Structure 1
Amino acid sequence: MAAVAIASSSPFSNFPSTSSLSPSLELNKKRNPRKSVAVAVTAAQSQPYGRSASRGQNEKEKERDIMDREKREEVNRKIASRKALSVILRREATKAVIEKKRGKTNSRKLLPRTILEAIHERITALRWESALKVFELLREQLWYRPNSSIYIKLIVMLGKCKQPERAHALFQDMVDEGCIINHETYTALVSAYSRSGLLDQAFALLNKMKVTDGCQPDVFTYSILIKSCLQVFAFDKVQLLLSDMESQGIKPNTITYNTLIDAYGKAGRFVEMESTLMGMLSHKECTPDVWTMNATLRAFGGSGQLEMMEKCYDKFQSSGISPDIKTFNILLDSYGKSKRYEKMGAVMEYMQKYYFSWTLVTYNVVIDAFGRAGDLKQMEYIFRLMKSEGIKPNCVTLCSLIRAYGRVGAGSKIKAVVRFIENSDVMLDVVFFNCLVDAYGRAGLLAEMKEVLEMMKAQGCTPDKITYSTMIKAYLSRGINGRHVQDIRDLSKSNIA
C-alpha cells in the first residue's frame, strides 16, 4: 500500500515523524495540507524502490510475477467455484428426486450424513424454509432419534431470520418428543423473540426460566436480552435487567459490557458509556479487549470528539491492548469525516509499516475521504487498486463514487458507474438509488434522473420519501415547477402510504 504523509501533531506515539519524509513531500504538505494525503500517494507511486535502474527493473519484474500469479489464482478460484456450484446443483437435483419419491422404501432409508449435512448447510446459509423441509425429512427416517442440539440450532436460525412463531413451534415439538429442555434451549427461544422485537414474550420466558428447575438464566441469556433492548433504545428495560442480574448474583461478562459501551456510544449517551467502562474496569474478571477499545473509539470519533478518541487510543494501547484492522478503519473514518487528512495519512502509513492488509471497509473509508476532499483522481486510483486486489466493491463503495461525482456535476462519470453496475452483481438498495437521483439532479441530467425510478423497479427496490423529495428539489433548482413536479408528487402519494 502506498505510503502517505503524516501530521507532525499526530497523537500516535508509534507513528514515524515527518522528519523521515522527503523535503519535497514536506513542502507540498505545507503548501496545501488539504491534499497532503493525495500528494503522498502520488509521490509514493513515482518514487523508485532502489538506487539503481537495474534494481528498479527487478522490482518491476517481481511485481509482474506477483500480478501473473494472482491472475492465475483468480482463474483457479473461478474454476473451483464453478465446480462447487456443479456439485451443489447435482446434490439439489438428487434431493429433489428423493422428495418426489417420498415412499416408504426410499425416503425413510437415507444416510444420516447426507441429511445432516444438508440441514447444517441450510442453517449456515439462513435458508430457514429449506432447512425445515430437510428437518421434516430427517424426522421421517427409520433411524431418527430426537436430538436437542439440532433443535437448538434450528431455533437460533429462525430467530436470526425473524421467525419467532416457528421457533416456538419447534420448541413445543422438543417438549412433545421428550427432549431435555435446559437453559440453553430457553435462551435460544428468548433470542428468537427478542431479535424480532417481541420483548414482552422474551421477558415472560425469562421469568419462566427463573422458576423452572435446571433452566436458570445465565449471563448469556441476559446479554442477549440486553442487546435486543439496546437496539430499540429501551434503556429503562436494560437497567431492570442489570438490577435483576445483580440480585441473582450473576455478574456481567466482557461481552455484556462491550454491548453496553457500544450501544451507549452510538446513542450519544457518553455519561452512561463512561460509567459502564469504569464498572468494567472495577471487575477483575472482565478485562477490556480490542472490542472495548473499538466501541469507545467509534463513539468519540463518530461524534467528532477526536481529542478524546486519541486519548482513549493511547490509554488502551498503554494497557496492552493491540489495535486490529477495525481499529484503524474507525480512526480513518473519523479523521476523514472531520477532514483531518494529515492524521488520516498517518494511520495509513502506520498500517503499511506494520503490514495491516486493507479490507473492503478500509477501501470504502478512503474512497469516501478522497471523494469528500474533491480529489477524484486519487479516489479513482484507490478504486482501481481495490479491484486489482480482488476486493469486490459493494453498495457503500458505489454510493461514495456517485456522491463525489455528483458534487462536481460529472455526468459522464456517473454514467460510467451505472455501466459498471450493469455488468456486476452488486446488491443495490434504496440508499444507493437516492444517491444516484441526487447526483443526476446536481449534474442537470433530469431525464436520466427520472429513469432511476425504472431502474429501481427492475431491481425490486421501492422508492421512499427521500427519493421523491430529492427529485422534486432537482426540478425546482432548475426552475421547473410544472407537469414534471406534479407527476413526481402524484407518484409519491400513490406509492408511499
Structure 2
Amino acid sequence: MLGKCKQPEKAHSIFQNMIDEGCVVNHEAYTALLSAYSRSGLFDKAFSILEQMKNTPDCRPDVYTYSILLKSCLHVYDFDEVQALLSDMASQGIKPNTITYNTLIDAYGKAKKFAEMESTLVEMLRQQECEPDVWTMNSTLRAFGSSGQIETMEKCYEKFQCAGIQPSIKTFNILLDSYGKTGNYEKMSAVMEYMQKYHFSWTLVTYNIVIDAFGRAGDLKQMEFLFRLMQSERIKPNCVTLCLLVKAYGQAGEAEKIGGVLRFIENSDVTLDTVFFNCLVDAYGVMGCFAEMKGMLEMMERKGCKPDKITYRTMIKAYSLNNMTRQVKELRDVLASLERTSSHLKEPFS
C-alpha cells in the first residue's frame, strides 16, 4: 500500500522493522518492497533488491517479481532495460506468463512498436501454457485501431474470435472508438446494433465514445439524443462527457447550447476540473465570444479551479487571431509571472 502511495522509504522502514523484530522476511516481502521502489521510478534500488533476492535462500525472484519490474520499465519506455530483464528471466529458467505477455503487448502497442508487439504475440502463441485472453485481444485491437490501421484491427479481431476468445464491453468500446475517430460511422453503427442485439449494457465510457464520434461528425441531434439516453439509463455524465459536448458545440458555433451545458452543471453534482474550463475557454475563443471566454476565469475561481498555462495560452491564441494586442500583452505578463512562480517551486529548498 505504501508503494502504491509512492512512499517507498516508509515501505523500506517497515521492511527493516520486520527484520529487527525477527519476522520471517520471505519472497512476498521482498517483492512488495521491490514493487514500492519500482512504482516510484527508483530503479537502482529496485534492481538492488532483485539481486538480493537472487542470493537469498527461499526468496528467489519469480515471474511475478519480474513482471512488476517489466511493467515499471515499460511505463517509462525503457525498452532496453525490458530486454535485459527478459534475458535475465530466460537465463534463470523463468518463463513469462500470460500477464507478462499482455503487459508487453499493451506497452509495445501504445508506443507504436508494432514489430515488437507482433513478435511478442507470436512468441506467446508458441507457449502452450500461455493462452491469449480477452486482455491480449483488447491490447492488440487498441494498438492498431488507435493508429488508424482499421483493416489490420479487423483481421486480428476475427482471428481472436476464431481462437474462441469472446469480446467484452471493453472490446466493443475499442472498436467504437477506432471507427469513430476514422469516420467509419456505418461500421460504428453496426457495432452499436450488435451490442444491443446481444444485450451488452453500455457504460459511461461507451457513451462518451459515441458522443465524441457524433460530435466530431457535426451530428448534434444524434449527439444530444445519446446524452439524453445516458441520463434516462441512469448513467451520470462526467467531466469528459461535458468537455465533448462543449467541443462539438464550439466547432458548430452554437454558443447558446454551451450555455445549456453550463445550466446543466448548475443542477448537477459533476466535479469540474481545469481541463473542462480550458475546453470552455477554447470553444468561446474559437467562436469569438470574448466576454464569455473571459468570464470563465471568474467561474473557475468560484468553482475552486486554478487557471493553468494552457488556460492563458488558449486565451492568448484567441486574442491574437483577432489582433487584440492589449489583451494579448496583459495575458502574456500573467503567463510569464505564472511560469516564474512555477520554476521557483521546482528549485530545491536551501
TM-score normalised by L of structure 1: 0.67
| CA deviation string 1:265-320 (max 9, x = no partner) | 00000010001001101111100000000000000000000000000000000111
Counterpart selection for 2:47 from 203, 209, 230: 203
State whether structure 2 residue 77 is matched by structure 1 residue 233. yes
- Give the 3 Å change call, closer, same or farther, for CA 453–178 of structure 1 in structure 2: farther
- Give the 3 Å change call, closer, same or farther, for CA 165–457 of structure 1 in structure 2: farther
Corresponding position of 1:397: 241
| CA deviation string 1:396-423 (max 9, x = no partner) | 1111111001101211211222232233
| CA deviation string 1:460-491 (max 9, x = no partner) | 44433322221111112223122x11121111
Bigger Rg, which one: 1
Counterpart selection for 2:328 from 470, 485, 488: 485
* Pairwise CA distance, 1:426: 2.5
Decide whether the 8 Å contact of 2:214 with 2:222 is kept in 1: yes
Corresponding position of 1:439: 283
Cα distance in 1 for partners of 2:83, 2:43 equals: 14
Corresponding position of 2:104: 260
Q: Which amino acid aligns with 2:144?
A: F
* Pairwise CA distance, 1:459: 4.4
* Pairwise CA distance, 1:203: 1.1
- Give the 3 Å change call, closer, same or farther, for CA 173–418 of structure 1 in structure 2: farther
Corresponding position of 2:345: none
Corresponding position of 1:192: 36
- Give the 3 Å change call, closer, same or farther, for CA 401–220 of structure 1 in structure 2: same
Corresponding position of 2:151: 307
Cα distance in 1 for partners of 2:36, 2:302 equals: 33
Q: Which amino acid aligns with 2:283?
A: A
| CA deviation string 1:317-373 (max 9, x = no partner) | 011111110000000000000010000001001101111000111000011011001
Decide whether the 8 Å contact of 2:53 with 2:59 is kept in 1: yes
Name whichever of 312-321 and 435-444 sits farther off: 435-444
Corresponding position of 1:84: none
- Give the 3 Å change call, closer, same or farther, for CA 352–422 of structure 1 in structure 2: same
Name whichever of 249-258 and 168-177 sits farther off: 168-177
Corresponding position of 2:63: 219
* Pairwise CA distance, 1:458: 4.4
Corresponding position of 1:420: 264
Counting matched residue pairs gives 340
Counterpart selection for 2:26 from 167, 174, 182: 182
State whether structure 2 residue 312 is matched by structure 1 residue 475. no
- Give the 3 Å change call, closer, same or farther, for CA 470–270 of structure 1 in structure 2: same
Cα distance in 2 for partners of 1:407, 1:365 equals: 17
Unpaired runs of 5+ in structure 2? 343-350
Cα distance in 2 for partners of 1:430, 1:267 equals: 27
TM-score normalised by L of structure 2: 0.94
- Give the 3 Å change call, closer, same or farther, for CA 158–427 of structure 1 in structure 2: farther
Corresponding position of 2:346: none
Corresponding position of 2:348: none
Corresponding position of 1:453: 297
Displacement over 6 Å in runs of 4+: none
- Give the 3 Å change call, closer, same or farther, for CA 271–216 of structure 1 in structure 2: same
Cα distance in 2 for partners of 1:200, 1:458 equals: 45
Cα distance in 2 for partners of 1:227, 1:458 equals: 41
Cα distance in 1 for partners of 2:306, 2:75 equals: 25
Cα distance in 2 for partners of 1:278, 1:248 equals: 22
* Pairwise CA distance, 1:211: 0.9
Corresponding position of 1:494: 337
Counterpart selection for 2:137 from 285, 293, 316: 293
Corresponding position of 1:346: 190
Q: Which amino acid aligns with 1:266?
A: K
| CA deviation string 1:414-452 (max 9, x = no partner) | 122223223333233332222111011122221221232
Name whichever of 400-409 and 454-463 sits farther off: 454-463
Cα distance in 1 for partners of 2:307, 2:113 equals: 33
Corresponding position of 1:19: none
Corresponding position of 1:17: none
State whether structure 2 residue 15 is matched by structure 1 residue 171. yes
Corresponding position of 2:122: 278
Name whichever of 466-475 and 232-241 sits farther off: 466-475
- Give the 3 Å change call, closer, same or farther, for CA 300–184 of structure 1 in structure 2: same
Cα distance in 2 for partners of 1:461, 1:188 equals: 37
- Secondary structure in structure 2 of the residue aligned to 1:159: coil
Cα distance in 2 for partners of 1:430, 1:197 equals: 27
Corresponding position of 1:356: 200
Cα distance in 1 for partners of 2:59, 2:104 equals: 25
Cα distance in 1 for partners of 2:87, 2:302 equals: 51
- Secondary structure in structure 2 of the residue aligned to 1:160: coil
Cα distance in 2 for partners of 1:224, 1:210 equals: 16
Cα distance in 1 for partners of 2:298, 2:14 equals: 42
The alignment-based identity, stated in percent, is 72
Decide whether the 8 Å contact of 2:309 with 2:338 is kept in 1: no
Q: Which has the higher contact order (CA 8 A, sep 6+)?
A: 1
What does 1:136-151 align with in structure 2 at a 5 Å threshold? none
